[in-house]
Amino acid sequence: MNIEPLLRMQNIRKVFSGVVALDDVDFTLERGEVHSLVGENGAGKSTLIKVMTGAYNRDGGEMFYEGKAVNFRTPEEAQNAGVVAVYQEVNLLMFRSVAENMFLGREPRRFGLIDWARMYREAGEVLRNLGLQIDPKAILGSLNIASRQMIAIARGVSLGAKILVLDEPTSSLTEREVSLLYDVIRRLKEQGTGIVYISHRFDELYAVCDKVTILRDGKFIATRPLAGLERIDLVCLMLGKQREDLEKKGATAFGEHHEAQISETLLETENLTRGRRLRNVSLRAGRGEILGMAGLLGSGRTEVARAVFGADAVDKGKVSLEGKQLKLNSPNDAIKAGIAFLSEDRKAEGIVPEWSVRENMTLAALPALTSLGVVSRAKQTEIVEKFMRRLGIKASSGEQKIRELSGGNQQKVLLARWLCKNPKFLILDEPTRGIDIGAKGEIQGLINELADEGLGVLMISSELEELVEGSDRVVVMRDGECAAELRGKDISQDSIIKAMATE
Partner 1 sequence: MAEAMKQPAAKRSASSFADYAPTYGAAAALLLLVLANVLLTPNFADVDNFRNILVQVTPTMLVAIGMTFVIATGGIDLSVGSLMAIASAVAAISLDYGAYPAILAALLVVTLIGAFSGWLISAFKIQPIIVTLALLIAGRGIAQVISNGGQLIPFSNPSFEFWGKDSLFGILPVPILVMALIIGLAIFILRATIFGRHVIAVGGNENAARLSGISVNRTKIMVYALSGLLAGIAGLIYTARLGASDASQVGQTIELDAIAATVVGGTALTGGRATVIGTVIGALIMQIITTSFNMNGIKFSYALVIKAAIILFVVYLQRPKSH
Query: According to the binding rule CB under 8 A, does residue 351 interact with partner 1?
Result: yes
Query: According to the binding rule CB under 8 A, does residue 460 interact with partner 1?
Result: no
How many Å is the Cα radius of gyration of the chain? 25
Rounded to whole angstroms, the Cα distance separating 478 from 495 reads 14
Q: Number of residues in contact with partner 1, rule: CB under 8 A?
A: 44
Of 159-167, 280-288, 363-371, 476-484, which part binds partner 1 (CB under 8 A)? 363-371
Q: Minimal distance in Å, beta carbon 467 to partner 1? A: 20
CA-wise closest residue to 443 among 424, 418, 422: 418
Q: How many residues does the chain have?
A: 503
344: DSSP letter: S
> Of 39 and 350, which has the nearer Cβ to partner 1?
350
Residues numbered 266 to 325 that lie near partner 1 (CB under 8 A) are 309, 311
Query: According to the binding rule CB under 8 A, does residue 230 interact with partner 1?
Result: no
Q: Minimal distance in Å, beta carbon 355 to partner 1? A: 6
Bridge partners (DSSP) of residue 457 are: 290, 426
Query: According to the binding rule CB under 8 A, does residue 354 interact with partner 1?
Result: yes
Q: Minimal distance in Å, beta carbon 332 to partner 1? A: 4
- Per CB under 8 A, the list member of 5, 32, 75, 331 interacting with partner 1 is 331
Query: According to the binding rule CB under 8 A, does residue 374 interact with partner 1?
Result: yes
Query: According to the binding rule CB under 8 A, does residue 108 interact with partner 1?
Result: no
Burial zone of 397 (CB within 10 Å; 0-12 exposed, 13-18 middle, 19+ buried): exposed
Q: Minimal distance in Å, beta carbon 104 to partner 1? A: 23
CB 487 within 8 A of CB 326: no
Query: According to the binding rule CB under 8 A, does residue 394 interact with partner 1?
Result: yes
Rounded to whole angstroms, the Cα distance separating 201 from 181 reads 14
Cα 18 from chain centre: 24
Query: According to the binding rule CB under 8 A, does residue 395 interact with partner 1?
Result: yes
Of 40-48, 189-197, 198-206, 430-438, which part binds partner 1 (CB under 8 A)? 430-438
User: What angle, rounded to 10 degrees, do the helices at 407-419 and 377-390 form?
Assistant: 120
DSSP, residue by residue, 112-125: TEE-HHHHHHHHHH
- Per CB under 8 A, the list member of 28, 223, 406, 492 interacting with partner 1 is 406
Q: Minimal distance in Å, beta carbon 273 to partner 1? A: 22
Query: According to the binding rule CB under 8 A, does residue 65 interact with partner 1?
Result: no
> Of 104 and 352, which has the nearer Cβ to partner 1?
352
Rounded to whole angstroms, the Cα distance separating 72 from 84 reads 12
Residue 137: count other Cβ atoms within 10 Å of its Cβ: 14
What's the angle, vertex CA 400, arms to CA 395 and CA 405, rounded to 5?
55
Is beta strand 425-429 parallel, antiparallel or unpaired with respect to 339-342?
parallel
DSSP, residue by residue, 454-465: T-EEEEE-S-HH
- Per CB under 8 A, the list member of 26, 76, 385, 404 interacting with partner 1 is 404
- Per CB under 8 A, the list member of 192, 225, 255, 353 interacting with partner 1 is 353
Query: According to the binding rule CB under 8 A, does residue 343 interact with partner 1?
Result: yes
Q: Minimal distance in Å, beta carbon 489 to partner 1? A: 32
> Of 83 and 340, which has the nearer Cβ to partner 1?
340
- Per CB under 8 A, the list member of 315, 399, 449, 490 interacting with partner 1 is 399
- Per CB under 8 A, the list member of 64, 87, 206, 355 interacting with partner 1 is 355
Q: Where are the beta strands (DSSP E) in 140-205?
A: 163-167, 194-198
Rounded to whole angstroms, the Cα distance separating 399 from 397 reads 5
Phi, psi values for residue 121, rounded to 5°: -65, -50
- Per CB under 8 A, the list member of 407, 424, 465, 481 interacting with partner 1 is 407
CB 158 within 8 A of CB 103: yes
Of 39-47, 145-153, 357-365, 469-477, which part binds partner 1 (CB under 8 A)? 357-365
Query: According to the binding rule CB under 8 A, does residue 146 interact with partner 1?
Result: no
SS3 for 391-403, per residue? CCCCCCCCCCEHH
Burial zone of 318 (CB within 10 Å; 0-12 exposed, 13-18 middle, 19+ buried): middle
Query: According to the binding rule CB under 8 A, does residue 383 interact with partner 1?
Result: no
Of 6-14, 94-102, 189-197, 432-440, which part binds partner 1 (CB under 8 A)? 432-440
Query: According to the binding rule CB under 8 A, does residue 438 interact with partner 1?
Result: yes
User: What angle, rounded to 10 degrees, do the helices at 407-419 and 437-452 form?
Assistant: 20
Of 43-51, 167-175, 271-279, 396-404, which part binds partner 1 (CB under 8 A)? 396-404
- Per CB under 8 A, the list member of 94, 117, 251, 437 interacting with partner 1 is 437
28: DSSP letter: E
Rounded to whole angstroms, the Cα distance separating 451 from 258 reads 10
Of 73-81, 125-133, 434-442, 484-492, which part binds partner 1 (CB under 8 A)? 434-442
Rounded to whole angstroms, the Cα distance separating 318 from 291 reads 19
Query: According to the binding rule CB under 8 A, does residue 454 interact with partner 1?
Result: no
Query: According to the binding rule CB under 8 A, does residue 350 interact with partner 1?
Result: yes
Interaction site with partner 1 (CB under 8 A): 309, 311, 330-332, 335-336, 341, 343, 348-355, 359, 363-364, 366-367, 370, 373-375, 377, 394-397, 399-401, 404-408, 417, 435-438
